Amino acid sequence: MNEHIQQFKKVAVVGTGVIGNGWIVRFLAEGLDVVAFDPAEGAQERTQKALDQAWPSLEKMGLAKDANRNRLTFVPTIEEAVCDADLIQENVPEREDLKKSVLANIDTYAKKDAIIGSSTSGIMPSVLQAGLNYPERLIVAHPFNPVYILPLVELVAGNKTDANVVGRAKKFYASVGMKPLIIQKEIEGHLADRLMEALWREALHLVNDGVASTEEVDAAIVYGAGLRWAQMGPFLTFHLAGGEKGMRHMLEQFGPALKLPWTKLEAPELTDELKEKVITGCENHANDTTIAELENKRNAFLVELLDLVESYWPETTAAK
């Protein structure tokens, strides 16, 4: 067991939906004790189902020596969940008022030196920590679904976050097999979701305008850019698109095209018609395959892909 795991023996997961359960699986697979709290009826059963679904992928990726699904305890109150945890991961729905009230409870009951990580996709940490008594220990730790396979976690400090907490959080998340990326400046949506949002907005326009079906948009990514992106991001990809002179030539050649009104910055109105198009598009694309079957397929693919990425790219900037 490494030193940082030793410092963080017990973690609490507050809110056990898609993301909370993803964290639970990752933490258990890394050999930690996990305490979970979610007031929704049937939450515990849903977590067990999520564990059943994900555990085979984790076995394939390699479990920590002391990993054990039985090291998870569900408790009936938030106080019991957080009172002796070394790190608390908050994953309640993306509503500022709800998050603030849950974080205020965590702040009341958590140990003073515990780290509070919020999974928020878009809210800035300075907003979340504003009313806390001990705001210096709050940091945004934004993961990606499925949390137990994808290594990226964006760490964002608010204006009251202690620099020491950023360093400790970075070591902790790295110790559970992740690639922490410290975001230099807080903004809504952090970094990766800013990029995803731009693509998502454009994808909705293409479907709304009848340019493509949801399946065709997916194909355009799966067989093209998506394959490249698993290895290189947009910058290095375009560096190669410029021939021998790399990005210099790329910008000379395609730079002026940026001024063409190709893409739409405003999101389309989510009308009932657009929603129906998107929903039926996805359901037809999935055909009779259930969500659970699709998740299994995705997990198996990602586990193999991650091995491939790491064999080509053993050191990523995120981990430095």
Q: Which residues bind ligand NAD (CB under 6 A)?
A: 14-20, 37-40, 43, 91-94, 102, 119-121, 142-143, 145
Asked whether residue 224 is marked as a ligand-binding residue, the answer is no
- The distance of closest approach from Cβ of residue 99 to ligand NAD in the complex, given in angstroms and rounded to an integer, is 7
Q: Report the residue number, 39 or 224, with the smaller CB distance to ligand NAD.
A: 39
Contacts of 155 (CB under 8 A, 6+ apart): 139, 140, 141, 166, 169, 170, 173, 180, 181, 182, 183
The answer to whether the annotation marks 19 as part of a ligand binding site is: yes
Structure-token pair, residue 281:
């598009």
Q: How far is the CB of 105 from ligand NAD (least distance, A)?
A: 8
Q: Is 20 annotated as a binding residue?
A: yes
Give the nearer residue to ligand NAD in terms of CB position, either 8 or 74: 74
Contact criterion met (CB below 8 Å) for 166 and 182:
yes
Separation in Å, CA 205 to CA 129, 196, 262, 278: 36, 14, 11, 11
Strands 87-90 and 179-183: unpaired
Please state, in angstroms and rounded to a whole number, the distance separating the CA atoms of residues 186 and 164.
17
In the complex, the smallest distance separating the C-beta of residue 109 from ligand NAD, rounded to whole angstroms, is 13
Sign of CA dihedral 227, 229, 230, 236: positive
CB of 300 to ligand NAD, least distance (A): 19
DSSP assignment letter at 115: E
What letter does residue 243 receive in the DSSP assignment? Answer: G
Nearer to ligand NAD, 5 or 132 (CB): 132
Asked if 204 and 274 count as a contact pair (C-beta separation under 8 A), the reply is: yes
Task: Provide, rounded to whole angstroms, the least separation between the CB of residue 29 and ligand NAD.
Answer: 18
Nearer to ligand NAD, 102 or 157 (CB): 102
Instruction: Choose between 45 and 269: whose C-beta lies nearer to ligand NAD.
Output: 45
If the CB atoms of residues 91 and 214 are measured against ligand NAD, the closer one turns out to be 91
**In what helix (H) or strand (E) does residue 129 lie, and over which residues does it extend?**
helix 125-129
Q: Which two tokens stand for residue 254?
A: 């395609």
Nearest approach, Cβ of residue 182 and ligand NAD (Å): 17
Annotated binding-site residues for NAD(+) read 15-20
Annotated binding-site residues read 15-20
